[in-house]
A and B are shown apart, each in its own frame.
Chain A
Amino acid sequence: MIKLWHKYALTLFLAAVVPVGIATWQIAGIGSEEVVKGAGQLQIAVGENALGTVRDILDGALGEATAVGAAIAMTDLPADEREKIAQAQLIGAKYLANFSVYTPDGAAVQHMQGVNKNSAVVGGDIATPEQLPAVLRDELKTQTSAFSELIRRPDGSLYLPLTTAILDAKGAVYAYGWTAVELGQLGVALGELSDHRFDGNDRVTLIDGAKRVVAAADPKRVGQPFSPNDQDLPIKAADLRREMSVAFDYTTAAGEKRLGTAVSVMDVGWAIIVEQTYDEVFHGVSRITNTALIIGGAFALAALLLGIFAGRRMSAPIAAVSKAAGQVAGGDFTVQVPVSGTDEVGQLGKSFNAMTGQLTSTIAKLQDATAAKERMQTELDIGRSIQMSMVPLKFPAFPERKDFDVHAALKPAFEVGGDFYDFFLTGEDTLCVCIADVSGKGVPAALFMAVTRTLVKTHAKLGASSDEILEKVNDDLAKDNDACMFVTLFLALLDLKTGVLTFTNAGHNPSYIKRKATGKVERLDKLHGPVIAAMEEIPYGSGATTLGKGDTLFLYTDGVNEAMNAKQELFTEERLAGLLQNNTWTTSDGAVKVVLDDVWKFQGAADQSDDVTVVALRYLG
C-alpha cells in the first residue's frame, strides 16, 4: 500500500535530487571539457619544452660545427695553425663527437676526434665516411648545413650526421665538414620531462619523418618505429610542415585510446610526440566526476533520508488519525491521538480526540441507558412470567363439574400491572374464587402476588370463611411489609349445594351478579375492609347472597373500568354495568368474551395501560 509518507518522501527527494543531479551533470561535463583542454595545453607545453631541448642540441651542434669549419677556412694562417685551432674548437664542443674535412670533390682530407663529455662513447666508434656522398654535396649547394639520416652505433645508440659547407672569404666552398651529433642526452632530457610531467610514463618521444623514434626515455625504442602499426599515429608530415603543433587522438592496435599532440621540429622534419592514454587524461576528470557524483549521491541520500524523515514526521499525525479512525471503525471509541501544533493537522487531531471523547461518553450513556432498560425489561418479563404461571389458564377448568362453570382471562399490560385471579375447590362442595390487583410491578409485585395467592389458598383450604381468610392473609402480609406493597382482593366462597355465596371485598372493585331469572345486574358495592397488607390486625367483614341457577358472578380489576381510548377517555364502571345488563350469555366463557370484546373495541389503537382481568362464574345448580 502506498502511504502518505511515501509521497511526501518522494516529493522531497525529487525536489532535492533533481537540482543536485543537474548540478552534478554540469560539473562532470565542464570538468571533462576542461581536462581535455588542459591536457592539450599541457601536451603543447611539454612538447615545446622538448622542442627547446632539441633545438638547443641541433643549434648548438650547428654552431659548434660552424666554428670548427671557420677555423679550417682561415687560409691566411698556416695549415698546422688552423688544424690546431680547429682541434681546440672540437675539443671544446659540447655536442660534436668528431669532425672530418673533405675537399669540394668529396675526398677526405682530415679526421679529427672530439672529446664529447655528453657521450659515453668516444668519437672513434663512429663510422666516418671516406668519401662524402655526392647527394650531400648537392644539398649543400643551396644551404650551408644539412642533417642527414640517423646512424646507429653497434650498441644501438644513435648519432645524427651533420654536414656543413666551409666557405672561403669569397663565399665559395673551400671544403666540407662532416660531424656526428650526439643524441643520447636528448633521450635523457625527454625522460626527465616524462618523469616530471607524466609520473614516469614514457610519454615524450622524438620521431623523425619516417615516424621512427629518434629519442625517448627508453633507449631501446630509439631507431624503432614509433608504434608497431604505422597507422596508429594519425599525423601527416604535411601538417607538421605547416603547423607548429597538431592535436590528435587514436586507438592503438592494442585497443588503448590515446590523446596526444605532435610538436613540429620544422627544419629536420621531425616531431615531438607528447601523448597520454585516455585513462591518464581523464584520471583527473573522473576524479572530479567521481567527486561530483559522490557529493551528488550524498545529497541524494541525504535528500532521501530527509524525505523519509520529514515525510514520516509530516504524515505521522495524519497516519495516527487514520489508524485511530480505523480503530474507531472497529468499535474502539476510547482511542486518542497525540496532538502537536496548531496547524490543520493539529486541528484534525484535536477534532478527532473531541469526537472520540464525545463518542465514548455518548456510548457510555447509551450503554448505561440500555443496560438499565434491559434490566427493567428483564425484571418486567420475569414478573410477567411469574404472574402468568400462577393463574389457571386451562379451560374448561372443571370439565367434570356440571354444577358450575368458571372462566377467566388476564391480558397483561406492557408496563404496569399485578393482577391475578384464582379458583379452586376447597372441599367437595365449596368453590373459592378470587381476583386481586397487587400494587407495583415487576419481580417484587409478582413475588408478592405469589405469596398472596399461596396464603389465600392455604387459609381457604383450611375451611375458613371469606373474612377469616382475608384477615389471616392480611396479618401475614402486613408483617414486615417494609415496601408497603398491598393487594386489592375480592374473594368469594360458593356453596355448590345451596348456591349460597359469601364474599369479602378488601379494597377491590365492586363485583356484579347477573340474575338469570330477572335479567338484572346487582352491584356488590359494599367494602368489607381496606386493601390487604396495608396494616395488621384489621377486621374484615363479609357479605352473602344466594345464586340462582344460571346466575353469573362477574369479577374484574380496574384495568377494565380504567381502560383508556385514544381520546384519553375511561371505559368506566357504568359502561361495564350497562354491558352486563344488556347482554346475555350461555357460558362463563361468553360473559368474559362480551366484556373483553367491548374493552378492546373501546380501547382501539391506544396502548393498554394496565392489566385487564375478568372472571365469570356461572352457577348451574
Chain B
Amino acid sequence: MLNIKTQAEGAAFVLSFEGHLDTKTTKSAEDAFDGALAAGQSKIAVDFDKLEYISSVGLRVLLSTMKKLKKSGGKLHLAGMNPTVKEVFDISGFSGIFTIFGTRAEALAAF
C-alpha cells in the first residue's frame, strides 16, 4: 500500500509518501510525479517520513523524476527518511546522487 498526499508549499510542491514504495505501488508514485511535472512544478520535495520501505523499483522512479527535473532546471529534494529507507539509499549509492535532508522543513528551506 502506498498513500500519496500532495501539497503546495509556497513555490514548492510536496509529495508525502506513506507505506511501501515497491513494484506494486510504483505506478501510482510515477503518476503522482508525472502529474506534478506536467503541472509545471520545478521545486519538488518528497517527504518520506511515513514511508516504511522502498525497493529498487522505487529508486528508479525517483531517479527518473530527478533526471527530468534537471533537464528543465528544477530540483528534487528528499527528506524524512527512516533508517531502513536511508539504508537502501546508502547501499545503492543513491545517497550520493540525490539531495537528501533530515526534515521536510529543511528540504523546503533549501530551495
Contact = CB atoms under 8 A, between A and B. Distances in A.
B97 A535 contact: yes
A476 interface: no
Chain B interface size, under 10 / 10 to 19 / 20 to 34 / 35 or more: 10 to 19
B63 A416 contact: no
Contact of A530 (B60, B61, B67, B97): B97
A485 interface: yes
Contacts of B96: 529-530
B60 A439 contact: yes
A300 B87 CA distance: 97
A119 B59 CA distance: 149
Contacts of A534: 63, 93-94, 97
B23 A507 contact: no
B91 A484 contact: no
B92 interface: yes
A15 B57 CA distance: 80
A488 interface: yes
A456 interface: no
Given A437-B56, A440-B60, A484-B64, A527 B91 contact: yes
Contact of A485 (B60, B91, B97): B60
A507 B60 contact: no
Contacts of A194: none
Chain A interface size, under 10 / 10 to 19 / 20 to 34 / 35 or more: 20 to 34
A506 B92 CA distance: 7
B92 A440 contact: no
A564 to B, nearest CB: 12
Interface in A526-557: 527, 529-531, 534-535
Chain A interface, >50% SS class: loop
A507 B64 contact: no
A145 interface: no
B39 to A, nearest CB: 21
B68 to A, nearest CB: 9
A440 B30 CA distance: 14
Interface string A60-79: 00000000000000000000
Nearest to A525: B91
Contacts of A484: 60-61, 63-64, 67
Nearest to B59: A439
A535 B63 CA distance: 9
B23 A415 contact: yes
Most buried by B among A509, A510, A534, A558: A534
B93 A527 contact: yes
Interface string B70-101: 00000000000000000000111111110000
Interface of A: 415-416, 437, 439-441, 483-486, 488, 506-510, 527, 529-531, 534-535, 558
16 contacts: A416-B57, A439-B59, A440-B57, A440-B60, A484-B67, A485-B60, A486-B63, A488-B91, A507-B91, A507-B92, A509-B91, A527-B91, A529-B96, A530-B95, A530-B96, A531-B94
Given A488-B92, A508-B91, 6 more contacts: A437-B56, A440-B57, A484-B61, A485-B60, A534-B93, A534-B97
